Amino acid sequence: MDFEYGIIGGGPAGYTSAMMLASHGHSVILFEKDRLGGTCLNKGCIPTKTLLHLSEVYKQTLETPNMGLDIEIKNFDFSKVAEKRDLTVEKIRKSLELAVKISGANVVYAQANVVNKNTIKAEDKEYSVGEIIIATGSEPRELKGLEFDGKFILSSDDVLRLNYLPKSVLIIGSGAIGIEWARIYSNFGVEVSVVELAEHLIPLADIEVSKRIERIFKQNKIRYYLSDSVEKIENKVVTLRSGNVIEPEIILCAVGRTPVKPDVSCETILGDACGEIQLAHYAIHQAKKFALGIDYDKNLIPSVIYGEPEIAWVGLREQDCGEDCKKITLPVTALGKSWCDDSTDGFIKLIVKDNLIAGAHIVSKEASALIHEVLIAMQNKVTADDLKKVCFAHPTYSEGIFELICRV
């Protein structure tokens, strides 16, 4: 046997498994056909969050007269933004490659195929392994009639290859990918339309979160069409089922991702390939459980959508609750810090059951950090009465959680 473990796929599930197993003395070989980091680093989380940040800087620069500054923008070159996006990804990937190397894991950059339960073949060479782990990730989901052509109808992979700003974009789907790209393009002044088949934007979120984002989109002049879909496309003219007609320069189809799983029998499948929760942090925790036995609660996996304001939630939603649940909401306008930051749109909402937090839903600056404060309490079943004893600093967004707990 050449290696104890053979891992196919170098995304969050694959590289986390490889590093943890190798650092604990196991012999590991990791196969990656493209670049380490998977979708998250190369085609998802990192490049889109970089673009979000840069788009917000751009938008804030246009609003500097409100701060007493008179800044004249003589030229805007989006190719420089794209260059920064790619440079950020490259820097993080180099750090990841070094971390994997230091861990002691071996990496083969080639297409890998499973020969049998103990053999992997790559570049005409066979590797004998004690156990095979499949971590082959996912790919953008394609809809009939909206097949990707890389020019007019784009996937979330395709759109990250653009080094220019379109004048207008139609986004199909309002999950995390659709919402974040709507924000990116809107911040850069692109005309944005969103089509969602469900009754509300972000259909997986708490209903109050969805309604607030709809209001924010209206304020930002992002058009959206709910309970709607594409009926036909002729000469780049899009007709919706509702009869509305849109003529976008490009279409971004963001209706989720499909697991990529080899047609092989394998006991261990991690990350997006397993077809469960398609989030990088979920994949990482699957890997931690496999490699180190660190457990997790599948019902307490936080969701975050980035941009201004951030959106985050975990646990029960309002539409899931019965009469035994208590809903408490605090507008962020009640927090002095929100006024200091000129970021007053949003709320913090807790759902409490039997003196324990059962759900949290936040639309606010720093929501991605706030949700973890609540999550730690939920995971460890800290009662509302015990949380009342915690001293929260002022002025912060965190003290909003304290304000809500005091109402239980």
**pLDDT reported for residue 68:** 79
Q: Is the pLDDT of residue 65 over 90?
A: no
Q: Is the pLDDT of residue 1 over 80?
A: no
- Where would I find the beta strands (DSSP E) of 56-105? none
CA distances from 252 to 36, 162, 247, 273 (A): 25, 12, 13, 23
Digit-coded pLDDT (tens) for 131-189: 999 999 999 999 999 999 999 999 999 999 999 999 999 999 999 999 999 999 999 99
Helices and strands (H and E) in the chain: how many: 12, 22
Digit-coded pLDDT (tens) for 219-255: 999 999 999 999 999 999 999 999 999 999 999 999 9
Q: For the chain, what percent of residues have pLDDT higher than 70?
A: 100
Q: Is the pLDDT of residue 62 over 90?
A: no
Of the pLDDT bands very low, low, confident and very high (cuts 50, 70, 90), residue 21 is very high
Strands 125-134 and 3-8: parallel
Average pLDDT over residues 59-81: 84
Q: Which two structure tokens, joined as six digits, stand for 384?
A: 């509302």
In three-state secondary structure terms, 41 is helix
Q: To which residue do tokens 């209903």 refer? A: 207
Q: Is the pLDDT of residue 262 over 90?
A: no
CA angle 149, 154, 158 (to 5 degrees): 100
Q: Is the pLDDT of residue 67 over 90?
A: no
Q: For the chain, what percent of residues have pLDDT higher than 90?
A: 92
Half-sphere exposure of 236 (CA within 13 A, CB side): 11
- Mean pLDDT over each residue of the chain, to the nearest integer: 95
Of the pLDDT bands very low, low, confident and very high (cuts 50, 70, 90), residue 322 is confident
**pLDDT reported for residue 153:** 98
Q: To which residue do tokens 């509300």 refer? A: 200
Least confident of 71-85, 203-217, 368-382: 71-85
ω into residue 309 within 30 of 0, thus cis?
Answer: yes
Digit-coded pLDDT (tens) for 335-359: 999 999 999 999 999 999 999 999 9
| Start-to-end C-alpha separation, the chain | 59
Least confident of 65-79, 133-147, 378-392: 65-79
ω into residue 140 within 30 of 0, thus cis?
Answer: no
Query: Which residues have CB under 8 Å from 304's CB, separation 6+?
Result: 176, 310, 311, 312, 367, 368, 371
Q: Using CA atoms, how far apart are residues 181 and 196, in angstroms rounded to an integer?
A: 14
Q: Using CA atoms, how far apart are residues 297 and 299, in angstroms rounded to an integer?
A: 5
Radius of gyration of the chain (CA): 23
Instruction: Give backbone dihedrals phi and psi of 158, rounded to 5 degrees, phi first.
Output: -60, -40
Q: Which two structure tokens, joined as six digits, stand for 37?
A: 């980091």
**pLDDT reported for residue 44:** 94
**pLDDT reported for residue 47:** 98
Instruction: Give backbone dihedrals phi and psi of 385, rounded to 5 degrees, phi first.
Output: -65, -40
Domains of the chain in start order, with CATH, are 3-139+257-292 (3.50.50.60), 142-253 (3.50.50.60), 302-405 (3.30.390.30)
Average pLDDT over residues 36-54: 97
Q: Is the pLDDT of residue 265 over 90?
A: no
